[in-house]
Amino acid sequence: MRNWWFGLVLGFFYLAVFNLWQVLDREWIVLSSVVVSVGLFAVFTAATRQKYFLNRWDALLHAAVILDILLEGTLIPEHQSRGFYLCAVGFAVVIGGYRLYLQRRRAAQNEGSTALAR
């Protein structure tokens, strides 16, 4: 889980804030989107310092989720749909799939370099 902690935090807050928006007024939606986005960006910065991200694309994909929360909360007036669950699944598949791909590729490269050293 150490390699996935930020993605799990991001997914939790994404689902939590979108569910919360189902019952909030417009003003509170805007305010909560800004507060949650700023908070997640602070955690994003900490994750960057801890070298959580596998490369720049990995970081960019995670940042896109934070940007989505900010833009959805400030630009979309109503949130009465449950379509955000599909967006969450989409983000999870893209980010999780990309991270798995990079980890497997790095493992294969490490095996190849180990075999050459023998």
Token digits of residue 3: 């390699």
Task: List Cβ neighbours of 38 (8 Å cut-off, separation of 6 or more).
Answer: none
Average pLDDT over residues 16-31: 95
Q: What percent of the chain has pLDDT over 70?
A: 93
Given a cut of 80, whether residue 2 has pLDDT beyond it is: no
Domain ranges (residues) in the chain: 5-117
Count how many Cα atoms sit within 13 Å of the Cα of residue 35 in the half-sphere of its side chain: 7
Over the stretch 44-65, which tens digit does the pLDDT of each residue have?
Answer: 999 999 999 999 999 999 999 9
Average pLDDT, the chain: 92
Euclidean distance between CA atoms 10 and 91, whole angstroms: 10
Q: In this structure, are residues 62 and 95 in contact, taking their beta carbons and an 8 Å threshold?
A: yes
Q: What is the DSSP string of 1-60?
A: -TTTHHHHHHHHHHHHHHHHTTTS-HHHHHHHHHHHHHHHHHHHHHHHHTT-SSSHHHHH
